[in-house]
Amino acid sequence: MDRKNTTLGEFIIENQSSFQYSSGELSKLINAIRLAAKVVNHEVNKAGLIDILGAAGDTNIQGEDQQKLDVLANEKFIQTLKNREIVCGIASEEEDDFISVNSNDEKHQNKYVVLIDPLDGSSNIDVNVSVGTIFSIYRRVTPIGTPVTLEDFLQPGVNQVAAGYIVYGTSTMLVYTTGDGVNGFTLNPAIGTFYLSHPRMQFPETGKIYSVNEGNYIHFPQGVKNYIKYCQLEEGDRPYTSRYIGSLVSDFHRNMIKGGIYIYPKSSVAMEGKLRLLYECNPMAFLAEQAQGKASDGFKRIMEIQPTELHQRVPFFCGSRKMVEKAEEFMAAQKA
């Protein structure tokens, strides 16, 4: 069979039996995400046409302005997951607290929780730059039929059952893993179908792109400053190319295809960095590792961090394995 003709729907069915503890529930869940992705894609595409641009006039829990499309994407994903009754809990970057979905009702035997960043990089919408959705799926740790608790969401990334992102770019792609490699599907907008366009995606072992907001250089730890200087040095295959979209999903996607490293370090003004462990770093780390790449906080593996709060932030170094290891060497040398 020509793999390029495989639709995401077919792929999900074909691969269902390879999931551990497969019961079809995870397949249904990924199908629901696929559906919500199409709805959000439709809205993102017409952002410039209708009056949905601009701030919604509200702020999220981190005190940041919410864009209208953030709110809309949040609603669409939550609604789709809730209506189909396929999860027992949802946590979103845009919600203060987690949401229980009939988890205390014995009739509902759903065992998965979803953590989601409905529209990442949304400050880019007004200027027609790619944005993304990031999702992460865990099995609940508390008993089925009892209310979900914080414990079900505060799991280390190694417990993820599936993770992925949708990039609303020049074309829209859904990229995901269930722990058996990473596959990318491109949306044919004319018929609303995702096709397997990027089977078995892998980060090149090393690359020539570094992605970091260098405007914050002065505030970076010495280890990061030294690594950036290393990237810029004329030696061997360096200097590297600097590419920073400011949209994690897009920067990650490009680096996975071309080879590169993305860094959002801690700084003297943001002691834990900016990105959220549960909604952004863990899912991207799972994808990176499944694509032969690496993700760390500069010192240790992202997926082994035990979360302590829903909206926890963490420094993030992610990309081609050898590049992340080199950055870690610079961090270790400075112990910061």
Shortest spacing between CB 192 and ligand AHM, in angstroms: 26
What is the binding site for ligand AHM (CB under 6 A)? 64, 117, 120-122, 213, 246-248, 251, 274
306 close to 297: Cβ distance less than 8 angstroms = no
Question: How distant is the alpha carbon of residue 5 from its chain centre?
Answer: 26
Residues at the site binding Mg ion, with contacts judged by CB under 5 A: 117, 120
244 annotated to a ligand binding site: yes
| CA distance linking residue 19 with residue 23, whole number of Å | 9
| Minimum CB distance to ligand AHM smaller for 87 or for 318 | 318
What is the closest distance, in whole angstroms, from the C-beta atom of residue 130 to Mg ion in the complex? 13
In angstroms, rounded to a whole number, what is the distance separating the alpha carbons of residues 263 and 218?
A: 15
Would you say 59 or 146 has its CB closer to ligand AHM?
A: 59
**Closer residue to ligand AHM (CB): 243 or 326:** 243
Instruction: Identify which of residues 120 and 328 has a Cβ nearer to ligand AHM in the complex.
Output: 120
* Residue found under tokens 């952002």: 47
123 among annotated binding-site residues = yes
Q: Which is nearer to ligand AHM, 137 or 263 (CB)?
A: 263
Instruction: Give the separation between CA 263 and CA 255, rounded to whole angstroms.
Output: 11
Contact 113, 90 (CB under 8 A): yes
Q: Is 267 annotated as a binding residue?
A: no
Is position 280 annotated in a ligand binding site? yes
As measured in angstroms, the least distance from the Cβ of 34 to ligand AHM is: 22
Map tokens 């059952």 to a residue: 161
180 belongs to an annotated ligand binding site = no
Least separation, in Å, of the C-beta of 266 and ligand AHM? 12
Burial of 215 (0-12, 13-18, 19+ CB in 10 A): exposed
Reported in sequence order, the residue ranges of the chain that DSSP labels E, i.e. its strands, are: 55-59, 65-67, 89-92, 99-100, 112-120, 131-139, 162-168, 172-177, 182-188, 193-198, 209-211, 241-242, 260-264, 294-296, 316-319
Min CB(64)–ligand AHM separation in Å = 6
Q: Is 119 annotated as a binding residue?
A: yes
- Residue stretches of the annotated binding site: 93, 117, 119-123, 213, 244, 274, 280
- The annotation places the binding site for Mg(2+) at 93, 117, 119-120, 280
